[in-house]
Structures are given as C-alpha cells and as structure tokens.
RNA sequence: GCGGACGUGGCGGAACCGGUAGACGCAACAGACUUAAAAUCUGUCGGGAGCAAUCCCGUGGGGGUUCGAGUCCCCCCGUCCGCACCA
C-alpha cells in the first residue's frame, strides 16, 4: 500500500471535477436549489489563511448540500474596487487596474489550489466595466424612483494634501500622510434614502423574515437603526432675546421628556446654525468650533473626546417653570442626530453629569430609584439611568418613568411647543467618494440644466485608463479631459460627476448578479427568482452592520424597481470568527506579508544592531514644537501601536508621535523582511530590511504563526490545510494558526488512507443495498451510524470542529474493530469516506475510487443513519450525594425511576456518603443523573 | 464613550434545555519497533494530599438562585468586533 500523495492526487481530482463539470450550476425548476455564498474577498494580494477558513466552511456546506440532493450554486467573485489599489498606485506607480487584476490572478490560482467546489464560470470582479455598468443602470433607476438625492455632508479634509480622508486615514486627528490636523469640511454629495426603509428593515429583524440570522447580528442591527420614540420641542429664549432667524427658540430632541424638570442646560452641536450665528461676532467661539471640528467625522473620536462646551450669551426659559437654562455649544452633540440640540439632564445621563460637574451646573435629581429615600437621594458621581418614580417634577411627580414620558409629551403638545416623534439613529447612506478606483456615478453637472442623469444608452461611464496618481487627491477631478462632456439635455458644455460610489454599493447586489453573471440586464429575473435568496451566507462578524444592512436595503430598492422579487437577500447567515496572527509593517508603515518575514538569526541580529540601527536612528530628529522624538519619514505614523513598536524595536528613547507615556515591552524583537523594495534596499544597503511586528493578540507573541496557505498546501496538501482550519476552533470564534496543528491534520489524512487502502475494492465486494453484517459487528455498526447522525447534525449546525472530533473518534473505533466482517467494514469505510468528503474532498475521492465506490464521491448521495442502530441498550448515570459526584451506575436505557433510585441507594460509595444521615430527597433525571439529598 | 460578543488544563477546544467538567486534537512524558533518527504503535497526562481505596480544590474575580451552576441572575476585571469614507 502506497503512501497518500496529495501532490499527485489533488491536481488530479481537481481536473476530474472540472472535466465532469461537477460544480457548474444550472437552473433547474425540478430540483430544489441551494445557494451558498461566502462574502467575496478583496483582492489584496494573496490568500490569507482566514480566507481558507471562510471558504472551507462554505465549501463544506456546498458539498454537503449537493450530496443531500440540492441543486447547489456556489460562485466566487472579487470585491475589487477600493483604496488599497489607489494607495499602491501612489506608492509604486502601477495602475490600480493592473495591480488589482494581477492580484486577482494570483488569488484565483490559490483558491483553485484549495479544491473548492466553486462554479468558476460565474466569476466576475466589481471593477469590470461589464459589472459596474449595470450598477450605473440601477442607480439611474433608483435616482428616477426618488431613492437618491444630494445633500451637504461633512468629510475629513486634509488641508496639506488637499484631499478627503477616510476615517481610518485620520490618526489622532491628523492626516496619515501629511500629519496635518484634519478639518471637518462640507461637501455636496450623493445619498441613498435608506431611512425610508428604516421601519421595514427593523421589522424584518423580528417578524420571521430573518429567522436564520444569529441573534447578536439582529440585535446589533436593531440598535444601529435605533428607533426611539421621543419629543421634539422648542425651548424659547428668555427675555425675548431671540437672534434673527431663531425666533422659535431652539428645537431639541429627547427620548426622556420625563426628566424635563431635571434640565440644567441646553447643548447644541458645533455645526448647529445657532453656533455659526454667534461665531460671526465671537472669535473665541469661532476658534472653539474649529477646534471641535478638528476631531474629524468619526463618531468614535467625538464620543471619546473630553466633553467641552462654550457658553453662549443667551439663555432659554423652561417650559414648565420659571427657570433659565444656559446654552452651550458642546463637542459631544451630533448635528446629524435628532435636531442637533439637546437639553442636558445631569442626574439622568452620565455625559450630561460629567458636563454639569465640569461647568458647575446644578444637578437636580428627578428619577427616584425603586428603593431610594426621596429625602436623602442625591446624585454623586454616577447618573441614574434606570426606571423609577418621578419626583421634584411638578405635575409629573409620582408617575413611573414610562407614564411620565407620555404625560410630558401630551403637555408639551398642549402648549404648542412640540410633538412626540419617532426618531431613527440610522442616517441616509452617503455613497459619494472622491476617489478614482470606484464605479463612476453616472451624473452630469450642467450649469443650465442642473444635475442630469447620464442617458442609459451612454453607459457604461468608464473610468479613464490614464490617470495621475503621483499626488494625493482625486485623479478624476484633475484629469485633463475625462470630466468634460456635453450636457445630454441641452448639448452645452457640462462636466461629469467625479465622485465614485462607495464600495459598499458594489457589494450590495453582487449576490444577485451571480444568478446570471453574463446577462445584458443587471439582473436576469428568471435566474434570480430561481436562485435567490442566498440560502447560506457566510462572512465575518465585522460586517454585521454596514454591509449586511446596505445589502438588505439594496434588495428592497431592487424589488421596488422590478429587478428582483425577494424581500431579503440572505435566508441564513453565519458569521465566522477571524484567523488572527501577527501583523507586520515595514519602516514606511506598509503592510508586509507574513511569509516574507522571518525571525533573524543571531548573526543577522548583530548585523541589524550594528548596521541598521544607526541608519534608522539617523532618521530621528526632535520635533521642534513638542520636543518629542519623531521618526522623520514617519510623521506621524498611521498606527500608534506601530509607533510604539518602532520605538521598542529601534531603541529610541522618549516619545514618538503624540505625547503619551510609552511602556517598553521586553519581548520586542527585531524582525526581518526578505522582500525589500528599491527604496529600502538603497536605504539599508541590503536585501533584508527590518520590519515591525506587532501581535493582534498578546498571547500570540511567543508563537511564530506566520503562515501562507500556499506553503501549507505545498507541504501537506490543500486537504490538510482545510481540515486543520476547521478542526480545532468553533467556526464563530477567532482562531490562531499554529504549525503543529496542521501536522496533526496531515497525520489524520494518512490514518484515513491507511485505513482505507488495504480495503481496496471492498465496496464492490459486498452489497450494501442488502442487509448484512454480523451481530458480532453490531458495536461497529452502531458507531458508524452514530457518527453519520452526529456529523450530519454538526454540519447542519455549523459545528465543524465537533464533526471533525467525531471523525477522529470514529477512526479510533475503526481501529478497535479492525477484525470486523467485510460487510460492516465496507459500511464503515464507505461512510467514513463520505463524511470526510466535504472536509477533505481530494482524499475522499482517492478513497472512494480505491474502495470501488460508484462515480465521484462528490456526486454520491449523503449517507443516512439507521434509527434502529442509534438506540442504546444501557446508559451510565452519575450518582451524586448532595450535588457531588460519588459514583456511577449502569442501568437499562428504559429503566424506571424507582428502580434507578433503588440501585443508586444501594451503591457502595453512595452508602458510605449517606451513612448516618437522613435521605431527604432523591432527584432522578432519566438518562442523566441521580442526586441524593441527605443531611 | 456607545453597541455586540467572548473568557474552561501547558495549548486549541468539548460539555445538548441547569444534570458525571476536560470529549477530540496538539504539545509533553514513558515504553515498543529501529544500528540510529523520522514515521508508526501502546500508555500517562487539571492542581493538591495519600502506599492505596479515596478525599479536597478547580471553568477570569466576587456575590446570588437551585437538590445540582462552566451554563441562569447581579457586580467587577480582561480581550476582541463595530461605530456610518478600511473592506
């Protein structure tokens, strides 16, 4: 018997599958379909081990469902627009398209090597004009249907690079490249009206349409949509001092009108019109506002910032009494939520409390917690946000918080100061991006006609091939010719929209395009009606909100415009964990592939210290204004943790970047990269350059979990890589790669082969369709059928790690029953091969062929467990005395409770423990446990 | 800061609806085979006490509910994901 050789077997079976067209999907109304889709990858360069895990999971499902008789669609494509290609263009001068398509070629090859059951004939990339032209067509329809509009919104503006920055490009409020302090700037941009669907998007989370989704994702979406009922009301200015245009006072929104008596100030957003009004004549306020806007646009940065305010020279009255409330411009109030103004109730909101303490404002308590004493209850450091009884609140006194909300709204409505409203946290979807590498938005700006759509006959609006990426900013905007176009309405001179779509638009409908990827309409309705919705969607939890919500919204727009018939795109959702391992960046802050990084030898370390270190230190100088040490080509480095590691690695003392105390980590090591670029080669006079390693998880520091799926596949085969990725960790949890684990997978592959290969032809030699098998082999047969039932159940529930553990147990049982008869062994080995097939498909084909199975194992029907063989005759129960396990009891599976109780009480160990005590109670849980309570 | 998750041996993890904690794998150790190594096979493997039978402790920490808690509740600590222009 020969050793299993994946290097021969894997390409061989991949070729057979292709020849047989085994995974090419054809719509067939007579067959029940099953659409398996993993979130498509961004072509970053190479397949990451995390991709392998993701696609291996989908592949298990796809192969399993095919074996179960479904007509399976399992396609693959590329989420190919995005910033990395443009950044690469800026760095290396290669065109984004060249970079992207060459990455796709590499990654396609790597994925094919993994033996995935993908219908490659449906492949496309979102940057193909053949794809994005349809996106443009749909957008025209959405626009016509009133789903798209333009409005002003804020962007991060880098004043030095003269460009819009993504949130991730803003580090500590500064531009990643220029280091300049970022400003918030308004631009007129395209939006899609996702808020129109807020209610339906929310309802579907609970009405059964998304039953196949995990609860936590539904909860996250519910919170994100953030429906709240509240009160929008006017606070009138005291003393009739209303500035021009603000005669009605300030409109605020609150979800807690029950706490109106607890109000001690009004706060408005820095970009609120009233703030702008006062800033005109108050330079200090203007400075304060500019300062607030320097936080950038990310909600996270705004919320984390220290709460600050600037008092305006006017006050409001209070609707219910004669109090006067100061008005502040406050950095934590968001203009885009509610009305951009709030009333502060410090006793009931931690933010408001912090603010009130800082500015010495009163803190009247108005909600009395259930067991508190109204005479002595005060707020100290913590606001009380829970339910309770209203007090110190005039006509609301004695009401519960809920009743008081209703009463306060009714009163304000009576007074004509406002009304109860439903509010959503969800904002409309801004789809404009000021970048080159995206789908052009098909609009034309004409001075006479305004903004007009590009006529459908003129689609696609293709990106210009030539573009200048040498400087930051939007290459479309400064392209010499591309944007100049005649107005389709009046024929006069006009200019193209130079914004491109957010890449979330590309990924919001690709799943529908897969139904008929070559069709000349965006979506071929018959095909889409057959294949949609996706039966099983698989992707990372990091997409729980944005991508999944946008795709759900897009599906609604597509239905409204007649493109498809489904309500929801994804019937079942599974969110897998990530594969974590250390990340590397070179001294310029560029990502380095783990496989290009090696731990240096002692000699290399010496060279590093003596040769590289002085070079790097020469690049360090003292930043003048802050007196901090900064790496010259690193000001500021985009990532604080890298800055810290740089310091540790290169031995710089003091602070790097913005002042924050650095904790030196003694484990810090110097890592070397073997793929230096020209600039680095020159700088270091070496092909080997230092890189900075920082672990995603602290625990992984000691582990050299640097890994390339390709290398694994070369050494052990794709099956071993797939098997290991699914074996140890539960799929929804993060996993860390270890080298030793894959060797275990490789061992198992050989064990399966060693079990099967001596039994060559066994499936031909016995007839499994007729009953057979000796009574002596019952134990093996029970194990075979228990394994079939268990693995099936585990796959159905995405418990791949458990399915794999069962296969290991089955292997152990097979060894124990090595002398069983041919019939039972044929049954066992056949089942083993089929159960392993979704995980290790190449090995399974090889085994199937050896055993003499009919056709390809990927076409063979899934084995069925015989219920008669799943029943156990006897069970072993644990026996507890006062909750502590004291013994074990084997009883017939159908023994009655009284008999079990008697047996338990007569157990020697039990007798010892109840000796001298009185038995008070005996709890018998059939099939599980006996607990004797004795005192 | 807000929202969501997670935390179990040396390691990855298992434990169904609250019912024998540690399945299965990795690593380690001991033995067999071998001139030797690798591979393979057999066995041991949470901590402590004991010759042993056996007993005590143990699921991030602290409380609680229960005949019984890794699992449920409250508080705390730590890690990860998302926060609308990363994809």
Q: Which of residues 306-365 of A touch strand B (CB under 7 A)?
A: 337, 350-351
Cis peptide before A712 (omega within 30 of 0): no
Provide CB contacts within 8 A for A647, sequence distance 6+: A653, A656, A662, A664
Residue-wise pLDDT tens digits, A699-751: 222 222 345 667 777 888 999 989 988 988 888 887 766 666 788 889 999 99
Percent of chain A scoring above 90 in pLDDT: 57
Q: Which helix (H) or strand (E) holds A125?
A: none
Q: Which residues, at least 6 apart from A623, have a Cβ–Cβ distance to it below 8 Å?
A: A629, A630, A635
Give how far the C-alpha of residue A197 lies from the chain's centroid of Cα atoms, to the nearest Å. 22
Give yes or no for CB of A933 within 7 Å of strand B: yes
Q: Output the distance from A804 CA to B30 C1' rounded to whole Å.
A: 29
pLDDT digits (tens, 9 = 90+) for A451-468: 999 999 999 999 999 899
- Nearest one of A578, A513, A511, A515 to A544, comparing CA atoms: A578
Quick one: A562 exposed, middle or buried, by C-beta within 10 A (0-12, 13-18, 19+)?
A: exposed
Most confident of the following: A313-317, A337-341, A642-646: A313-317
Measure CA to C1' and name the residue nearest B82: A542
Q: Check whether residue A739 has its CB closer than 7 Å to nucleic acid strand B.
A: no
Q: Is the CB of A433 within 7 Å of strand B? A: yes
Q: Give the pLDDT confidence of A280-312 residue by residue, as tens digits.
A: 999 999 999 998 988 888 888 888 888 899 999
Q: Is the CB of A913 under 7 A from strand B?
A: yes
Query: Do A489 and A446 contact (CB within 8 A), yes or no?
Result: yes
Nearest to A479 by CA among A491, A493, A497: A497
The residue among A776, A775, A764, A847 whose CA lies nearest residue A811 is A847
Given this model, what pLDDT does residue A683 score?
Answer: 58
Provide the strand spans (E) within A499-593: 500-501, 534-540, 570-576, 579-580, 583-586, 591-592
Instruction: Return the SS3 of A139.
Output: helix
* Integer Cα distance of A776 and A759 in angstroms: 20
Residue A587: pLDDT over 70: no
Smallest CA-to-CA distance from A388 within A378, A398, A400 is with A400
Nucleotide nearest A811, CA–C1', reads B24
Higher pLDDT pick, A350 / A788: A788
Report the distance separating Cα A848 and Cα A835, nearest Å: 11
Three-state secondary structure call for residue A600: coil
A473 touches strand B (CB under 7 A): no
Half-sphere exposure in the Cβ direction for A795 (13 Å, CA): 25
pLDDT, residue A603, reads 53
Question: C-alpha distances in angstroms, A249 versus A315, A340, A411?
Answer: 10, 13, 18
User: Percent of chain A beyond pLDDT 70?
Assistant: 85
Residue whose Cα is closest to the C1' of B86? A168
Does at least one atom of strand B sit less than 7 Å from the CB of A427? yes
Identify nearest nucleotide to residue A300 by CA to C1′ distance.
B83
Chain B nucleotides reached by a protein CB under 7 Å: 1-6, 11-15, 19-21, 23-27, 39-42, 54-56, 67-69, 79-87
Average pLDDT on A378-406 reads 88
Does A636 sit behind a cis peptide bond, omega within 30 degrees of 0 on the bond before it?
Answer: yes
Residue A626 or A756, more confident: A756
CA of A252 to C1' of B75 (A): 35
Kindly report the average pLDDT of chain A as a whole number.
84
Q: Which of A248, A231, A136, A270 is nearest to A190 (CA)?
A: A136
* CA→C1' distance for A728 and B53 (Å): 38
As a whole number of angstroms, the distance between CA A23 and CA A14 comes to 11
Nucleotide at minimal C1' distance from the A224 CA: B3
- Output the pLDDT for position A280: 92
User: Is residue A923's beta carbon less than 7 angstroms from any atom in nucleic acid strand B?
Assistant: yes
CB < 7 A to strand B: residues 115-144, chain A: none
A199 touches strand B (CB under 7 A): no
Q: How far is the CA of A7 from the C1' of B26 (A)?
A: 25
Most confident of A45-59, A300-314, A582-596, A848-862: A848-862
| Beta pairing class for A591-592 and A583-586 | antiparallel
Q: How far is the CA of A820 from the C1' of B71 (A)?
A: 40
Asked whether strand B has any atom less than 7 Å from the CB of A413, the reply is no
Residue with CA nearest C1' of nucleotide B26: A741
Structure token digits, residue A45: 């360069």
- Strand B near-CB residues (< 7 Å), A 886-905: 886, 888
How high is the pLDDT of residue A593?
54
Supply the DSSP string of A33-75, one letter for each residue.
EEEEEEPPPP--SS--HHHHHHHHHHHHHHHHHHHTT-EEE--
- Are A437 and A88 spatial neighbours (Cβ–Cβ below 8 Å)? no
- The pLDDT-based confidence of A892 (bands split at 50, 70, 90) is confident
Report the distance from CA of residue A55 to the C1' of nucleotide B39 in Å, as an integer.
Answer: 32
E strand spans, A408-502: 418-423, 429-430, 432-433, 443-446, 450-453, 484-486, 493-496, 500-501
Residue with tokens 């210009």: A464
Nucleotide minimizing C1' to CA distance for residue A215: B4
Instruction: Give the pLDDT confidence score for residue A566 in this predicted structure.
Output: 95
Q: A908: which nucleotide lies closest, measuring CA to C1'?
A: B53
Numbers of helices and strands, H then E, in chain A = 31, 38
pLDDT score of A628: 33
Give Cβ neighbours of residue A620 (< 8 Å, ≥ 6 apart). A629, A630, A631, A632, A652
CA of A886, C1' of B56: distance in angstroms: 14
CA atoms within 13 Å, Cβ hemisphere of A429: 26
**Cβ atoms of A650 and A617 closer than 8 Å:** yes
A:591-650 Cβ neighbours of strand B under 7 Å: none
Angle at CA of residue A224, ends A223 and A230, nearest 5°: 70
Half-sphere exposure of A831 (CA within 13 A, CB side): 29
Q: Is the CB of A705 under 7 A from strand B?
A: no
Closest nucleotide to A542's CA, by C1' atom?
B81
Please give the Cα distance from A221 to A160 (Å, whole number): 37
Give A753-793 pLDDT, tens digit per residue.
999 999 989 999 888 877 776 777 888 999 999 999 999 99
Span A682-691, pLDDT tens digits? 655 665 555 5
CA A591 to chain centre: 21
ipTM computed for the complex: 0.94
Q: What are phi and psi of A229, to 5 degrees?
A: -95, 135
What confidence tens digit (pLDDT) does each residue in A479-504 have?
999 999 999 999 999 999 999 999 99
User: Could you give the CA distance from residue A181 to residue A301 in angstroms, rounded to a whole number?
Assistant: 14
Q: Answer yes or no: is A385 CB < 7 A from strand B.
A: no
Q: Which nucleotide is nearest to A886 (CA to C1')?
A: B20
Could you give the CA distance from residue A290 to residue A293 in angstroms, rounded to a whole number? 5
- Segment among A55-64, A179-188, A838-847 with least mean pLDDT: A179-188
């Amino acid at each position: 018997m020969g050793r299993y050789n994946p290097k021969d077997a894997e390409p061989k079976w991949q070729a057979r599958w292709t020849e047989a067209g085994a995974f090419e999907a054809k719509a067939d109304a007579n067959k029940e379909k099953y659409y398996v889709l993993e979130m498509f990858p961004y072509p970053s360069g190479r397949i990451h081990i995390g991709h392998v895990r993701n696609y291996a999971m989908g592949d298990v499902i796809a192969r399993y469902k095919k074996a179960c008789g479904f007509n399976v669609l399992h396609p693959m494509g590329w989420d190919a627009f995005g910033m990395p290609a443009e950044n690469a263009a800026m760095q290396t001068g290669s065109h984004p398209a060249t970079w992207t398509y060459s990455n796709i070629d590499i990654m396609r090859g790597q994925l094919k090597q993994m033996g995935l059951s993908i219908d490659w004939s449906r492949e496309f990339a979102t940057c193909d004009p053949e794809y994005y032209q349809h996106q443009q067509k749909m957008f025209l329809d959405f626009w016509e249907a009133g789903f798209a509009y333009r409005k002003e919104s804020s962007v991060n503006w880098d004043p030095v690079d003269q460009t819009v920055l993504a949130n991730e490009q803003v580090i500590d409020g500064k531009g990643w490249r220029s280091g300049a302090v970022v400003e918030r700037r308004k631009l007129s941009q395209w939006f899609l009206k996702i808020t129109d669907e807020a209610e339906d998007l929310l309802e579907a989370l609970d009405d059964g349409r998304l039953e196949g989704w995990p609860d936590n994702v539904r909860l996250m979406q519910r919170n994100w949509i953030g429906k709240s009922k509240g009160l929008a009301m006017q606070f009138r200015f005291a003393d009739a001092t209303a500035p021009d245009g603000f005669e009605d006072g300030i409109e605020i929104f609150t979800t807690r009108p029950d706490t109106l008596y607890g109000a001690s100030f009004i706060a408005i957003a820095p970009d609120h019109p009233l703030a702008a009004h006062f800033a005109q004549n108050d330079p200090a306020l203007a400075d304060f506002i500019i300062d607030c806007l320097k936080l950038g646009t990310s909600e996270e940065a705004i919320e984390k910032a220290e709460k600050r305010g600037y008092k305006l020279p006017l006050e409001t009255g209070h609707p219910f009494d004669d109090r006067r409330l100061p008005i502040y411009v406050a950095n934590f109030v968001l203009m885009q939520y509610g009305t951009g103004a709030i009333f502060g109730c410090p006793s009931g909101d931690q933010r408001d409390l912090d603010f009130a303490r800082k500015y010495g404002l009163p803190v009247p308590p108005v909600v009395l917690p259930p067991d508190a004493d109204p005479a002595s209850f005060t707020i100290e450091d913590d606001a009380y946000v829970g339910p309770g009884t209203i007090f110190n609140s005039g006509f609301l006194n004695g009401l519960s918080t809920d009743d008081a909300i209703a009463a306060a709204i009714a009163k304000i409505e009576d007074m004509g100061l406002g009304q109860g409203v439903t509010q959503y946290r969800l904002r409309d979807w801004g789809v404009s991006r000021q970048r080159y590498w995206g789908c052009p938005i098909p609009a034309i700006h004409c001075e006479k006609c305004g903004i007009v759509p590009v006529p459908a006959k003129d689609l696609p609006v293709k990106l210009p091939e030539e573009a200048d990426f040498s400087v930051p900013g939007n290459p479309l905007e400064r392209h010499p010719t591309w944007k100049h176009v005649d107005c389709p309405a009046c024929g006069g001179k006009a200019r193209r929209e130079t914004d491109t779509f957010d890449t979330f638009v590309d990924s919001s409908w690709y799943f529908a395009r897969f139904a008929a990827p070559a069709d000349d309409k965006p979506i071929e309705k018959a095909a889409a009606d057959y294949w949609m919705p996706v039966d099983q969607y698989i992707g990372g939890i990091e997409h729980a909100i944005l991508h999944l919500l946008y795709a759900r919204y897009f599906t609604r727009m597509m239905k409204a415009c007649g493109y498809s018939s489904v309500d929801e795109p994804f019937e079942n959702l599974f969110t897998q964990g990530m594969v974590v391992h250390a990340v590397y960046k070179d001294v310029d802050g560029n990502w380095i592939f783990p496989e290009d990084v090696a731990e240096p030898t002692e000699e290399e370390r010496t060279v590093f210290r003596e040769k590289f270190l002085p070079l790097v230190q020469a690049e360090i100088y003292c930043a003048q204004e802050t007196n901090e040490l900064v790496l010259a080509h690193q000001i500021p480095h985009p990532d604080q943790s890298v800055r810290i590691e740089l310091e540790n690695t290169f031995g710089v003392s003091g602070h790097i970047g913005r002042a924050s105390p650095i904790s030196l980590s003694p484990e810090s090591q110097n890592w070397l990269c073997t793929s230096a670029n020209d600039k680095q080669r020159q700088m270091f006079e070496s092909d080997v350059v230092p890189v900075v390693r920082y672990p995603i998880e602290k625990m992984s520091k000691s582990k050299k979990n640097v890994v390339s799926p390709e290398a694994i596949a070369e050494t052990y085969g794709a099956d071993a890589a797939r098997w290991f990725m699914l074996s140890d960790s539960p799929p929804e949890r993060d996993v860390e790669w270890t080298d030793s684990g894959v060797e275990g997978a490789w061992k198992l592959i050989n064990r399966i082969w060693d079990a099967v290969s001596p039994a060559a032809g066994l499936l031909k030699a016995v007839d499994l369709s007729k009953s057979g098998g000796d009574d002596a082999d019952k134990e093996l047969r029970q194990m075979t059928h228990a394994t079939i039932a268990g693995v099936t159940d585990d796959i159905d529930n995405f418990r791949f790690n458990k399915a794999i553990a069962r296969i290991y147990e089955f292997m152990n049982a097979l060894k124990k029953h090595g002398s069983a008869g041919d019939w039972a062994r044929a049954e066992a080995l056949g089942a083993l091969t089929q159960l392993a097939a979704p995980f290790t498909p190449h090995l399974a084909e090889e085994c199937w062929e050896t055993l003499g199975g009919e056709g390809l194992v990927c076409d063979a029907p899934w084995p069925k467990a015989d219920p008669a063989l799943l029943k156990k005759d006897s069970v072993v129960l644990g026996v507890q005395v006062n909750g502590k396990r004291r013994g074990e009891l084997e009883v017939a599976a159908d023994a009655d409770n009284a008999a079990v109780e008697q047996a338990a009480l007569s157990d020697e160990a039990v007798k010892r423990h109840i000796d001298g005590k009185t038995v008070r109670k005996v709890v018998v849980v059939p099939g599980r446990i006996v607990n004797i309570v004795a005192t």
